[in-house]
Amino acid sequence: MTVQLNAQHSLDTAVPARRGNIRDTAGELLAGNLAVDFIFAVPDQIRRPEEVAAKLAPVLGVDTDELLPLLSDKTKPYVRLIGGKRVDQTISDQVIALALPGIFLEPTTRRTYPERSLGSHVLGFVDGDGNGNYGIEGAWDKALAGLPGHLRAERDTAGNEIGFSDRDWRPPLDGMDLILTIDRTIQYIAERELERSVIEHKADGGTVIVMNPKTGEILAMANHPTFDPNRYAEAARTPELLTNPAITFAYEPGSTFKVITMAAALNERLVTPDTTMDDNGALSIGGFTIRNWDFKANGRITMTQLLEKSSNIGASWTAFRLGKTLFYRYVTAFGFGAQTRVDLQGEGTGIVKNPKSADWSESDLATNAFGQAIAVTPMQMVTAVSAVANGGLLMRPHVVKALVNSVTGETVEQVRPQIVRQAISRETAATLLQMLFRSAENGETRGTLVPGFQVAGKTGTASIPVNGGYDSNQTIASFIGAVPAADPQFVILVKIDRPKDEPWGSLIAKPAFAIIGQELTRYL
């Protein structure tokens, strides 16, 4: 509340609106408001500032010498005490009990996040000026903030309000409450398992996204390291903490991108699951030699075996059958190279070279086919694979489910699923899901991932570009999968950055996916 006093003791007050709450899909509070107060003084009404300072200083936890100059300065009609810091109700009650002349409370709120770091990159934070920054708080600031009201009144020399007319009062319009698609329990599972994996494998960090492929709803979005939005000023000392890698970080997806290459070839009817090719372990093109991840030749393999064995040579062969025009048409159709338009701030586009790019060459077609020399965001990747999981529809991802009137509880707007385009046919999607089931069960690490459920998925191990080349000792290990394969209810992406003990997605990310998938199937 902003207060101004003139010489005639006319009081102009901007009355703040209550900021809307943010809740998870089940109504659990993720961001709310805590009642606090500013303490301010009107020096003109304080006849004995030494006495007032002596009584007030112990309550506020400051020295008398700090308060006395402020209380004695008659040139200022209004001054906030203790540096404008807000105090909780315990201190406010003590100030009220003192009943000191010229000392007033200015009611306000402080944004609070009861779950601390849970979902912090999704939520963002509210700064000391009440402005939403980053995440939901930033992207939806206007809806959450509402509109302030205004009060004008007259006070007598003792500071008592004389009265005001209807024309002097404009009530505030409180902000909307937001209901998210995020499920608190799923978010907790994702964050816990991500943190465990990062610590166990001495990784730099990582990301987990859980999406409902049918609706585009984000059920969980976790990053590590994370921060506590209640203490955002501390996080600001490390600026990279205040970006959301799930939507901003562009990385080479490695073999998970073979899903896109295979989807395109199947959809164009250039291959079937049983189409065969000869994988001799090496392919020379444009002065470069491409090899399989294990430097081995797989011999004659089917397209299903291509995914099971994660053949780089097979993926390049498939891309050349498509040709550059068709291949990049499907890259675009699946949303790569553009924002997904998720309802959060700061989304990146990834990096996609195409034949129109000055630095593109045929070797890019060969390597892009298995996720090298192309960069995507985690959100793009999970959205694209969700299109395979839902029958071929690219959905717009979203984290806000509904806007609710914070006073009446009435739903003002329900966010509906939004189809962006049909990326592939339903028939192609169903065929590819079965191939990916075989890949997940019979791939580099065999075995059932989620007991009682079939999983359609693909591992990825991408070397990180360094100084124009690749450092095989620095990788991004990932696994993306849909559960259950026959009718996927959720798609999970696990991405671990620079693990130090093992480089492989099959050994690092796939086990984390399995644990998350098992807990989700029990929970849902």
Which one of the listed residues 92, 120, 197, 255 is annotated catalytic?
Answer: 255
Digit-coded pLDDT (tens) for 105-128: 877 788 999 999 999 999 999 998
Does one domain contain both 104 and 253?
no
Phi, psi of 467 (to 5 degrees): 50, 45
Q: List, for residues 123-153, the tens digit of each pLDDT value.
A: 999 998 889 999 999 999 999 999 988 776 6
pLDDT recorded at residue 79? 86
* Same structural domain, 132 and 212: no
Residue 400 — pLDDT band, cuts 50, 70, 90? very high
Does one domain contain both 163 and 276? no
pLDDT given at position 78: 77
pLDDT in tens, 218-243: 999 999 999 999 998 888 888 888 99
pLDDT tens digit sequence for 153-207: 665 555 554 544 445 677 889 999 999 999 999 999 999 999 999 999 999 999 9
**Number of domains within the chain:** 2
What is the CATH number for 163? Answer: 3.90.1310.10
Average the pLDDT over each of 236-240, 332-336, 410-414, 441-445 and give the range with the smallest value: 441-445
Final residue belonging to a domain, choices 146, 180, 214: 180
What's the pLDDT band for 446 if we cut at 50, 70, 90?
A: low
In this structure, the answer to whether residues 304 and 289 fall within a common structural domain is yes
Residue 165, pLDDT score: 42
As a whole number, mean pLDDT of residues 377-387 equals 99
Degrees, nearest 5: CA angle 283-286-288: 55
Residue 274 vs residues 31, 268, 448, 458: alpha-carbon distances, Å: 52, 15, 23, 18
Could you write out the three-class secondary structure of 44-71? Answer: HHCCCHHHHHHHHHHHHCCCHHHHHHHH
Do 93 and 37 belong together in one domain?
yes
In a shared domain, residues 305 and 175: no
The average confidence (pLDDT) of the chain is: 91
pLDDT-based confidence at 328, cuts 50/70/90?
very high
456-506 pLDDT per residue, tens: 999 999 988 887 778 778 999 999 999 999 999 999 999 999 999 988 998
The per-residue pLDDT for 2 is: 45
- State the residue range of the domain holding 66: 2-180
Is residue 159 a contact partner of residue 105, using CB atoms and an 8 Å limit? no
Q: Which of 164, 180, 196 is the last residue of a domain?
A: 180
Residue 159 has a CB neighbour count (10 Å cut-off) of: 15
Say which residue the tokens 């011999």 belong to.
299
Shared-domain flag, residues 244 and 155: no
Give the global pTM: 0.88
pLDDT exceeds cutoff 90 at 300: yes
User: 255 catalytic, yes or no?
Assistant: yes
- Residue 12: predicted pLDDT: 65
Tokens of 466: 């360094």
Q: How many residues does the chain have?
A: 524
Among candidate residues 165, 180, 195, the one where a domain is terminated: 180
What CATH number is associated with residue 481?
Answer: 3.40.710.10
Q: What does the pLDDT look like over 60-93, one tens digit per residue?
A: 999 998 898 889 888 888 788 887 788 888 898 9
Other Cβ atoms closer than 10 A to 66: 14
* One domain for residues 49 and 86: yes
Whether 300 and 204 map to the same domain: the answer is: yes
Q: Are residues 174 and 268 in the same domain?
A: no
Sign, CA torsion 215/217/219/225:
positive
Q: Are residues 260 and 383 in the same domain?
A: yes
Q: Is residue 90 located within the same domain as residue 156?
A: yes
